[in-house]
Chain A
Amino acid sequence: MEKTINITLKVWRQAGPKAKGGFETYKLDNISTDSSFLEMLDVLNEKLINERKEPVVFDHDCREGICGMCSLYINGHPHGPDSAITTCQLHMRKFKDGETITVEPWRSNAFPVIKDLMVDRRAYDKIIQAGGFVSVNTGGVPDANAIPIPKKDADEAMDAASCIGCGACAAACKNGSAMLFVAAKVSQLALLPQGKVEAARRAKAMVAKMDELGFGNCTNTGACAAECPKSVSLSNIARLNREFICAKFKD
């Protein structure tokens, strides 16, 4: 037989970007522990709609942990108390019967709230647009084996590339810094020969954009890596620092 729990939800409600927000408390009974956190929110929204109230707005898309859309700050942790997963991969079995669950949006100057739990994360897109790419001159495609890449580098680049840009790093950071995100995006390209060519320009442009958008200064607390749903390593930040400092000294 499936197990069910009764929970109390404290959810941040905010009508719009400029409106004053506040917490609303909802009681939910008989929530299956097999349901996911977002399914539980769906149940809540269905209930609210039946009561002719406005449903809670929250971001979600693929619901399998790869799109980086879901972005809830649950009980003091981005993506909830479980480690190395996104909110959509969080299950209700992680919560106790009678527990009060506090759900907040990402809080960062660069991620303004759009409505309720949904925040504007275009700041990350803007950082990518500033340099998180390789300028490819299309022509004949070279043979893949013509460019040998050590497995160690390939693995490390792949680990950095697992970043889904969800914003949990900046949300977890007491300084509101986006360094882990930028570091992952710089690293995944700087480690590979195709990306190395533009590494210096990329590091400078992306850091400049990050600062311009109002993210904070990294103080190496490591909260970002601890909360990252993809376990992106803190040492990527050291690589970003290295790339950036070397680029500036070369100038």
Chain B
Amino acid sequence: MWLFNSSVGRKVVMCVTGASLVLFLLFHASMNLVAIISPEGYDMICEFLGANWYALVGTVGLAGLAVIHILYAFILSVQNYRARGNARYEVTDRQESVEWASKNMLVLGFIILGGICVHLIHFWAKMQLVEILGAIPENGMELIRYTFSQWYNLAIYLVWFAAIWFHLTHGIWSSMHTLGWNNNIWMPRIKCISNIFATLIVLMFASVAIYYFVISLI
């Protein structure tokens, strides 16, 4: 199967799973924004999702996408490290047109994975997981208020968001490039689009975190 045994195929798997996860982030960020506009509305969304079958299907799908994305990241990294040969360069220099993020996607991925673990413990384990186990989940709005009233949580989340921003600025345009949707004219355009998209998503997430930290101070 070409998706496993050809380099372009493996990259297609990477880009399709990655792009799907970006769409999820967009959904998640829009949902979070409701927490600022209307706390009651946010609780309604939490209730609507909860542990209903569609939310569970979505969660399993997401977990699957994330696992494939991470698994392929490791496989590709090991293969690429081997392709470099046994000896490393003594002197390396950076090229002006090469983004820092593009060379550090794996490192950024580790930071993001760490952030996901913290985030799942903070929210998912107290909401959907509790509901799956048959108990009554904690209130989403209260969790947000409590979590972001702690300055260290805000700091952790902001570092996480920064890593996501860097990961997305390369990931979004790169996924389009891998699918072949690029040419000389569109190259600067899709790079610009992916910067805007990444900034938008990260700003939406960060605004909720900062908003509730500021609220807790007042």
Contact = CB atoms under 8 A, between A and B. Distances in A.
A60 interface: no
A221 B103 contact: yes
Contacts of A243: 180
B142 interface: no
B168 to A, nearest CB: 14
B183 A239 contact: yes
Nearest to A12: B90
B7 A217 contact: yes
Contact of B96 (A216, A219, A226): A226
A181 interface: no
Nearest to B170: A220
Contacts of A102: 90-91
Contacts of B85: 107-109, 111-112, 176
Interface stretch (B58-66, B76-84, B113-121, B131-139): B76-84
Q: How large is the interface on A (under 10, 10 to 19, 20 to 34, 35 or more residues)?
A: 35 or more
Interface string B136-154: 0000000000000000000
Nearest to A248: B2
Nearest to A226: B95
B8 A241 contact: yes
Contact of B91 (A104, A176, A216, A245): A104
Given A177-B7, A238-B181, A242-B180, A219 B80 contact: yes
B90 to A, nearest CB: 6
Top 4 closest pairs, chain A to chain B, by CB: A242-B180, A76-B93, A216-B83, A176-B83
Q: How large is the interface on B (under 10, 10 to 19, 20 to 34, 35 or more residues)?
A: 35 or more
Contacts of A10: 90
A222 B97 contact: yes
A226 B99 CA distance: 11
Contacts of B39: none
Given A77-B93, A238-B180, A239-B180, A207 B98 contact: no
Given A222-B99, A226-B95, 20 more contacts: A75-B93, A76-B89, A76-B92, A76-B93, A175-B83, A176-B83, A176-B84, A177-B80, A179-B7, A216-B79, A218-B7, A219-B11, A219-B102, A221-B103, A223-B95, A226-B96, A240-B180, A241-B8, A241-B177, A241-B180
Contacts of B183: 235, 238-239
A235 B182 contact: yes
Given A75-B91, A76-B92, A107-B88, A214 B102 contact: no
19 contacts: A102-B91, A107-B87, A108-B83, A108-B84, A109-B85, A177-B83, A216-B80, A216-B83, A216-B84, A217-B7, A217-B11, A219-B105, A220-B170, A234-B187, A235-B186, A240-B180, A242-B180, A244-B6, A246-B180
A107 B80 contact: no
A23 interface: yes
Contacts of A75: 91, 93
B74 to A, nearest CB: 12
B10 interface: yes
A208 interface: yes
A76 B87 CA distance: 14
Nearest to A102: B91
B9 A248 contact: yes
A88 interface: no
A246 B7 CA distance: 15
A245 B89 contact: no
Given A207-B6, A235-B182, A217 B80 contact: yes
A116 interface: no
Contacts of A242: 179-181
A156 B98 CA distance: 23
A201 interface: no
Interface string B1-35: 01001111111100000000000000000000000
A21 interface: yes
